[in-house]
Amino acid sequence: SSADSQSREEFMYRRILEVLGESPGLTIGQLAKRIEVDTTELRGYVSWMRSKGKVTSVGRARATRYSLA
């Protein structure tokens, strides 16, 4: 249901903020391991959060590292 997907999204956003707050400069793979989610799913959340100015990234391709904005 849409309530379930909304709570999943809220959970994901909170976890991403939490993990990056504790450990800035993680790669997408490291972040996925800590949150225990697939990198493909995580990329969507992280790119949305970047577009909203919540998360920043440095580097390119596999060397990209994410931190809180």
pLDDT digits (tens, 9 = 90+) for 2-57: 777 779 899 999 999 999 999 999 999 999 999 999 999 999 999 999 999 999 99
- CA pair distance 10, 15, nearest whole angstrom: 9
CA–CA distance, 66 with 24 (Å, rounded to integer): 7
Could you read off the pLDDT of 52-63 as tens digits, one per residue?
A: 999 999 999 889
Helices 2-22 and 28-35: angle between axes, nearest 10 degrees: 120
Pair 46, 31: CB distance under 8 Å? yes
